[in-house]
């Protein structure tokens, strides 16, 4: 009904337009003809000419309305219909939908621009959706293991004639599992806040060497227990302007991994060097190392290349490290060889050469 009304109104617009144009032309033609032949037309001649002109106007208007209808059908209605259908599919949650651009001759190019934008939006949204579903799957999976441990050992603890040492062992296992769960939740929350930019870095200027030493010293008991040799080469007076808490998160995670993946009797080396613009920190270990395949994924959330240490982490540490380094507009790289060791290199701007001065 709506379409019929629009076709009729189109017809009337074309009718009025052609009537106006044709009448003007005919009046001009008639007056010129009269003056050139030197006589006025009779009433009868004018009536016949007016009828023919009217018929012409009607035929012309019908023709134009039909041509316009067909043109709109192909160049406007078809692409609009495809865009609307794709949008409805997306509203129902299907982010895989894409629209093929219409052939250039068959449509206004603006529709292809809209289609192009729509396809880009759809691929962005499908990426976000995949990340979200992967994230939920990973979190659920990671939560299941400690929860199952807590459940099983909780049941074992209920046995009435349990020896004292077993009771202590089971209670410790439950405490460890709940600590893992709490650590994971803390890391997820930190990562989430960092990714949503809800943490606004609060930069202060401080000595990077001092911060690195403080962070390293936290692992003293570990390196003593595992008999790991420590070597340091720290340039003095290297100031950086950064959020201390965020940056210490980076060093803590890198040291924690270095000690975790290094066998007893190995070596961990800390180097801080600086040029005019950048401070470069290297944390190297003689641990198990990793293959290129593992190295390509280590900054992804929940990725754990080395499953033998899976109970000591949750695969979020390096994702956090990467996020913090990105926020600080720094760089992080890794070099590693299986059975030889791993070196993480972090480069950040020095305090006296901040981005503002660089500009």
Residues 6+ apart with CB under 8 A from 242: 201, 203, 204, 206, 328, 348
285 makes contact with ligand ADP (CB under 6 A): yes
**Which segment (80-88, 124-132, 200-208, 302-310) binds ligand ADP by CB under 6 A?**
302-310
Q: What is the CB-side half-sphere exposure of residue 122 using CA atoms within 13 A?
A: 22
Compose the 196-235 pattern: x for residues touching ligand ADP by CB under 6 A, - for all others.
Answer: ----------------------------------------
Complex with ligand ADP: residue 112 or 248, whichever CB lies closer: 248
* One residue of 69, 95, 303, 353 binding ligand ADP per CB under 6 A: 303
288 makes contact with ligand ADP (CB under 6 A): yes
Q: Are strands 204-207 and 239-242 parallel, antiparallel or unpaired?
A: antiparallel
CB of 316 to ligand ADP, least distance (A): 6
* One residue of 61, 107, 138, 304 binding ligand ADP per CB under 6 A: 304
Rounded to 5 degrees, φ, ψ at 266 are -80, -165
Residues 6+ apart with CB under 8 A from 335: 342, 343, 345
Complex with ligand ADP: residue 247 or 298, whichever CB lies closer: 298
> What's the full length of the chain, in residues?
359
**Which segment (47-55, 57-65, 127-135, 285-293) binds ligand ADP by CB under 6 A?**
285-293
Q: Is the separation of the CB atoms in 321 and 250 below 8 Å?
A: yes
Task: Tell me the three state secondary structure of residue 347.
Answer: strand
**Coarse DSSP helix, strand, coil percentages of the chain, rounded to the nearest 5 percent:** 65, 15, 25
313 makes contact with ligand ADP (CB under 6 A): yes
Compose the 324-343 pattern: x for residues touching ligand ADP by CB under 6 A, - for all others.
Answer: ------------------x-
- The string of DSSP codes covering 32-60 is HHHHHHTSPPPHHHHHHHHHHHHHHHHHH
What's the distance, CA 282 to chain centroid? 29
What number of helices (H) and strands (E) belong to the chain? 11, 7
Complex with ligand ADP: residue 102 or 215, whichever CB lies closer: 215
**Which segment (135-143, 205-213, 268-276, 289-297) binds ligand ADP by CB under 6 A?**
289-297
CB of 343 to ligand ADP, least distance (A): 9
315 makes contact with ligand ADP (CB under 6 A): yes
CA neighbor of 246 nearest in space, from 193, 299, 302: 193
Q: Using the CB atoms, write b or e for 166-188: b if 16+ within 10 Å.
A: eeeebeebbebbeebbebbeebb
What's the distance, CA 209 to chain centroid? 35
CB of 111 to ligand ADP, least distance (A): 46
First to last CA, the chain: 64
290 makes contact with ligand ADP (CB under 6 A): yes
CB of 318 to ligand ADP, least distance (A): 3
* One residue of 107, 215, 286, 314 binding ligand ADP per CB under 6 A: 314
Count other C-beta atoms under 10 Å from residue 5's C-beta: 9
**Which segment (38-46, 92-100, 253-261, 347-355) binds ligand ADP by CB under 6 A?**
253-261
* One residue of 150, 317, 328, 351 binding ligand ADP per CB under 6 A: 317
* One residue of 294, 335, 347, 353 binding ligand ADP per CB under 6 A: 294
Complex with ligand ADP: residue 288 or 328, whichever CB lies closer: 288
Task: Tell me the three state secondary structure of residue 181.
Answer: helix
Chain residues 12-51 in contact with ligand ADP, contact rule CB under 6 A: none
Rounded to 5 degrees, φ, ψ at 157 are -65, -20
Contacts with ligand ADP, residue ranges (CB under 6 A):
253, 257-258, 261, 285, 287-290, 294, 298, 303-306, 313-319, 342
């Amino acid at each position: 009904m709506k379409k019929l009304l629009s076709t009729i109104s189109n017809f009337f617009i074309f009718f009025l337009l052609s009537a106006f144009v044709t009448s003007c032309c005919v009046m001009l033609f008639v007056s010129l003809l009269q003056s050139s032949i030197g006589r006025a037309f009779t009433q009868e001649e004018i009536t016949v000419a007016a009828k023919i002109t009217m018929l012409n106007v009607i035929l012309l208007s019908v023709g134009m309305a039909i041509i316009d209808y067909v043109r709109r059908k192909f160049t406007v209605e078809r692409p609009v219909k495809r865009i609307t259908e794709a949008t409805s599919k997306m509203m129902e949650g299907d982010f895989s939908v894409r629209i093929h651009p219409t052939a250039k001759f068959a449509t206004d190019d603006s529709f292809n621009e809209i289609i192009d934008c729509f396809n880009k939006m759809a691929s962005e949204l499908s990426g976000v959706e995949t990340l979200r579903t992967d994230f939920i799957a990973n979190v659920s999976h990671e939560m299941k293991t400690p929860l199952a441990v807590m459940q099983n050992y909780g049941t074992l603890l209920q046995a009435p004639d349990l020896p004292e040492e077993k009771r202590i062992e089971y209670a410790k296992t439950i405490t460890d599992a709940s600590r893992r769960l709490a650590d994971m939740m803390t890391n997820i929350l930190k990562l989430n806040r960092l990714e949503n930019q809800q943490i606004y870095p609060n930069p202060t200027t401080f000595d990077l060497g001092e911060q690195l030493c403080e962070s390293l010293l936290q692992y003293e008991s570990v390196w003593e227990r595992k008999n790991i040799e420590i070597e340091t080469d720290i340039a003095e007076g290297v100031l950086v302007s950064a959020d201390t808490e965020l940056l210490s998160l980076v060093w803590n995670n890198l040291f924690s991994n270095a000690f975790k993946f290094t066998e007893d009797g190995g070596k961990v080396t800390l180097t801080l060097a600086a040029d005019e613009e950048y401070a470069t920190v290297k944390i190297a270990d003689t641990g198990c190392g990793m293959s290129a395949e593992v190295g390509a994924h280590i900054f992804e959330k929940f990725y754990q290349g080395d499953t033998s240490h899976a109970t000591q982490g949750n695969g979020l540490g390096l994702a956090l490290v990467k996020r913090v380094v990105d926020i600080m507009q720094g760089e992080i790289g890794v070099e590693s060889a299986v059975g030889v060791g791993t070196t993480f290199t972090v480069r950040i701007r020095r305090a006296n050469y901040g981005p503002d001065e660089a500009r």
